[in-house]
Structure 1
């Protein structure tokens, strides 16, 4: 830049000298020419002079051209200097911006590296998440199938539960009714048990004898059943053969008669002194024969029941108890 300015100044100086010499220089040339006219020279010197004058003229022409070029270059240099100054300012601004951009780029590169690391980690996690999602989707499909199955079962169960609830309600109603009835029955049973506990207990069971034949006798004879197996209430007297009612009530009596001899066997049933019933059996030959009968009497307290063997009739008894007499109180009145 400094060298260029020096050259420009030199050219400008030369141009200034040429400007001053256009008049003075030309006059000098005229003087020389005039001198040459007056002072003869040889032909060679004259030719050389002419050549020199022509060359001088050409140099000044070139100098004027160079001057014009220097002017143009000066203007161009000024423009370039201004442009250079503007470019220097722009370069400073661009340098500042470049520094800031490079710093920002460095920061962005670090952030990009961090983001790349995070992206890699995120991608791995994403792959794991996708794998987990696939697994969860499969599990969800299985669970969906199971839920449908459970839903169907639940619907059926709820329907069945509803039916069972209705049945349970009906059963509960029936149970409540049955429980009330049961309470009534239990109360009635308690009453009956109380009544039974308070009710007199009368029952007897006897057999006639172990001695074999009984009868025939010449007169009617009261049968005394001497083998007593049961005598609740002590209403039967084996010494007399009489049953005496201990209270008013309905009584049931049963008897079984057995004979072995040929002839008649029979029995009278007496209530007090009244003959109520007579049973008879005739055998043409000696053999075991039986008959059984039962009676029900409405007795007052103190009434008596006994059996009588008619005269001329016979019975047979042994340890096998062929002849029995029994009775019991059905219910009091």
Structure 2
């Protein structure tokens, strides 16, 4: 009997020990659970803060986008208005230019040289009519022998070229790099002879008109102005 009581007492002691261990383990679990709950609360709070910040940033970005779109619309409206004003200004400028062009006067005459014979040259050469007789409107460049149209219009050009030795004489009239006329004459008697021509040309602003001496040809001029290049504006277009 005492042996059985001792055994039961031993079993009870073991159960109490195990119960104590289980209670200790339970306390540890409760502590860990509390810690996890705290961490969970902190995570949920952080998540809520992030959501709040993202919402605020999204609202700020949306607001900035709305403002930017509004500014773009205003810029487009202003650009349209500026384009309209620019077109009106260009139209008025064109009207003023056309009005002023009607009053512009252009005319020139120039003699070839005082030094006698010009040519022959090995290649075609632009003639420099160096003696300016008249230059109303300052459209003739004496040093280059070139007339440059100051306005769009219809112009009239004429020339007379002379020589006194036997052989061929002649010259081209060019508009820019396009030959318009070519005059040719054979001096077979060895005395003074001349050739002349005239033409009306429609020119754009900046178009250039010049006379050119072909290779192996020659001309003559002196103080009596045998060789003359002239032109004038008939009317603007």
Q: TM-score range by the shorter chain?
A: 0.5 to 0.7
1:306 and 2:204 matched: no
Task: Give the corresponding residue for 2:226.
Answer: 322
Segments of 4+ moved more than 6 angstroms: none
Give the Cα separation in 2 of the matches to 1:331 and 1:316. 33
2:199 aligned residue (295, 300, 322)? 295
Match of 1:213 in 2: 117
Deviations 1:193-237 (A, max 9, x none): xx7995111000110000001111111010010000110111000
Return 5+ residue gaps in structure 2 as ranges. 1-98
- Residue aligning to 2:103: 199
Q: Which runs of 5+ in 1 are unaligned?
A: 1-194
Aligned length in residues: 139
From the CA coordinates, give the structure whose radius of gyration is larger: 1
Question: For residues 278 and 307 of structure 1, what CA distance do their matches in structure 2 show?
Answer: 10
Change (3 A) 1:218 1:200: same
Q: Contact conserved, 2:176 with 2:207, CA < 8 A, in 1?
A: yes
State which of 168, 184, 201 in structure 2 corresponds to 1:280. 184
**Which structure is higher in RCO with an 8 Å CA cutoff and minimum separation 6?**
2
For 1:312 and 1:208, the matched residues in 2 are separated by 18
Give the Cα–Cα distance (whole angstroms) in 1 for the partners of residues 153 and 102 of structure 2: 15
More helix by share: 1
Is 2:166 the partner of 1:262? Answer: yes
Cα root mean square deviation, aligned: 1.4
Task: Find the aligned partners of 1:275 and 1:198 in 2 and give their Cα distance.
Answer: 29
How far the C-alpha of 1:242 sits from its partner, in A, is 0.6
Query: Which of 130, 148, 156 is 1:252 aligned to?
Result: 156
Q: How much has 1:283 moved relative to structure 2?
A: 1.5
Q: Which residue pairs with 1:76 in the alignment? A: none
Calculate the TM-score normalised by the size of structure 1: 0.41
Give the drift of 1:308.
0.1
2-structure distance, mates of 1:324, 1:234: 17
Tell me, in whole angstroms, the C-alpha distance in 2 between the residues paired with 1:273 and 1:196: 29
TM-score (norm: length of structure 2): 0.57
Structure 2 counterpart of 1:178: none
